[in-house]
Each structure stands twice: as structure tokens, then as C-alpha cells.
Structure 1
Amino acid sequence: MITVKYIRNFFYSPSFWIILSFIFITIILYYGSFPAHAADTNGASTGGLPWDTPITTIRKDLSGPVAFAFALVGIFATGATLIWGGEISEFTRRMMYLVLVICILVFSNTLLTGSLFTGAMVPASGLTMNTAKANALVHHVPTEMVCK
């Protein structure tokens, strides 16, 4: 039989509050993600704030081919200085580490945005399949390659 003491103990138990907070956080995260999916993707890059244009210019300057070349030379130069520099002071060594980190950041930004992660362009008419080529490919499969 359910008594008042049982209900009071149920509401005072830590497991009840942990489960309730988990459910509450799950609901907040679930319904809070809908505005993010509906947001305009160009809205963040087309703001009217006064610092948007200079920051965009700096971003474009740090991801061009000249920045890529400078970063590559900087990585080699700082690496050579740290390896074969001999007795350099602690301040110089820390500055070399700083230059190395900046060069790696610029290099990786250019490398990742320029060559690895580029998307495909889908034509407005959609993708179509050339059935003649597909049939020719299917009929030219060797018989030992076919699963039996």
C-alpha cells in the first residue's frame, strides 16, 4: 500500500532527482536543437557589424597560397633552429615554439580547407544514371567474381 511516508521518501531520494534532471536536460537539449537546424547558414557570415569585414579579410589572408608557403617555410625553419640551434636562450626557444605553433595552425587551416574537405557539386537537374554504361559494366564482370 502506498502511504504518505512512501511518497515523501520517493521524492526525497537522490535517484528520483537524478532521473528527473536527466529527463529535464534531455527535453531541453531535444527542443533546443530545433532552432539550430532551422537557422540560416549564411546568417553568421553576412552580419552588419563593423568588424565583420576586417575579420573576413584576415581569415582569407591566412588561408591563401602565400600563407601556406610562409607556414611551410616557418615550420622547417623553427624545426631546424630547435634541432640544430645549439645553446639558445630560454626566451628564444619559447619564441621558436610560438612561431612553430602559429605556422602549424596556418598550415593546417590551409591544408584542411583547401584540399581534403571539399564538397561535390550536384547539378540542378539531379543525378542521372547512364543505363547503357551500367549494363555494359555489369555484363563484363568475370564469372569468377560473381558470388554463387
Structure 2
Amino acid sequence: MQPLQFNISRVGNKALVVVAVALLLMLAAHPAFAAQTAGGGLPFDSWMTKIRSSVTGPYAYGVAIIGLVGAGATLIFGGDMNGFLRTLIFIVLVLAFVVAAQNTLSAVTGQGAEITAAHDMATRSADWITTQVSALQDAVSRVAKGE
């Protein structure tokens, strides 16, 4: 019985090298983060802040709860509805859930739905990737030297 042999053609070998180099370049590139400024200089900042405060305020929370109850009751007890009406009710249900989610999260956890934690996680991930890439580069250099 003959041992198993892998026959990789020259084209397949070149493709493998190209993929390996592309992967190494993607892993070795230091992630670029957006500018870490406080903002405030954009022309639409003031009205976006007003919209955010309107959507996350107590009035919006009350309307969202009423919308959730109303849309849920309509779907349960509404009987036979056409597709357009059902789609509108689902849109109201989803919008009410999204508006109510921020206030519900802040009531349960003490803080709302924030994106700042994602930045910290991305920083930790970038640091981990950087250490893995440096370890991979060290291993490749040792293999190239024949150690």
C-alpha cells in the first residue's frame, strides 16, 4: 500500500501563497479607528439631539407601551386582515419595541443601550489580533531561518 500523496500543481501552489500573503497582510494591518472627538461641530447636531431626546423621553415610552399593547391586541384579536394592514401593524409593533427598548434597558440595568462598550471591545480585539499577528510573524521567521 502506498502512502497518501498530495499533488499540488504549480497554479494551486501559487494560489495558496497568494491567499496566505493576503491573510497575513489583513492580520498584520493595524486597525484604524475613527477620530475620537466629542463632535458637536456638525450642522445637524442640534436637531438630531432633539430627536434623540424626544424618542427616549417618558412621553415616547408611554406611547410605545400603548403601541405595543394595541398592535399586539390587534394581531391577536383582529380577525382576518389583508397583508398591507398586517404589515403596517408589524411596523408599529417593531417601532414601539425599539422606542421602548432603551427605556426598558435603562430601567433594568441602570444604563441605556450604549455603543461605548463596543469601542472597548474593539480595542481589546485589536490588541489581541496584534499579539497573534506578532506571534505568527515570529513563528514564520523561525521557520524561514530553519529553527
TM-score class, shorter:
0.5 to 0.7
Given the superposition, is the C-alpha separation of residues 26 and 75 from structure 1 closer, same or farther in structure 2, using an over 3 Å criterion? same
Given the superposition, is the C-alpha separation of residues 117 and 19 from structure 1 closer, same or farther in structure 2, using an over 3 Å criterion? farther
Cα distance in 1, alignment partners of residues 91 and 111 from structure 2: 30
Cα distance in 1, alignment partners of residues 21 and 104 from structure 2: 46
Cα distance in 1, alignment partners of residues 98 and 18 from structure 2: 45
What TM-score do the two structures reach when normalised by structure 1?
Answer: 0.60
Aligned to 1:95: 88
Deviation per CA, 1:39-76, whole angstroms, max 9, x where unpaired? 53xx25x3312111101110111111111111111101
1:116 aligns with 2:109: yes
Aligned to 1:58: 51
Task: Give 2:97's match in structure 1, choosing from 91, 95, 104.
Answer: 104
Aligned structure 1 segments of 4 or more residues deviating by more than 3 angstroms: 9-12
Cα distance in 2, alignment partners of residues 53 and 15 from structure 1: 53
- Kindly state the Cα deviation for residue 114 of structure 1 after the two structures are TM-superposed: 4.8
**Structure with bigger RCO (C-alpha 8 Å, 6+ apart):** 2
- Uncovered stretches (5+) of structure 1, i.e. residues with no partner: 1-8, 120-148
- Uncovered stretches (5+) of structure 2, i.e. residues with no partner: 1-9, 113-147
- % identical equivalent positions: 30
Q: Whose Rg is larger?
A: 1
1:20 aligns with 2:13: no
Aligned to 1:70: 63
Aligned to 1:32: 31
Cα distance in 2, alignment partners of residues 48 and 58 from structure 1: 17
Aligned to 2:72: 79
Aligned to 1:125: none
- Kindly state the Cα deviation for residue 86 of structure 1 after the two structures are TM-superposed: 1.5
Task: From the two aligned structures, give the one with the greater helix fraction.
Answer: 2
Cα distance in 2, alignment partners of residues 23 and 11 from structure 1: 18
What TM-score do the two structures reach when normalised by structure 2?
Answer: 0.60
| CA RMSD after TM alignment | 2.5
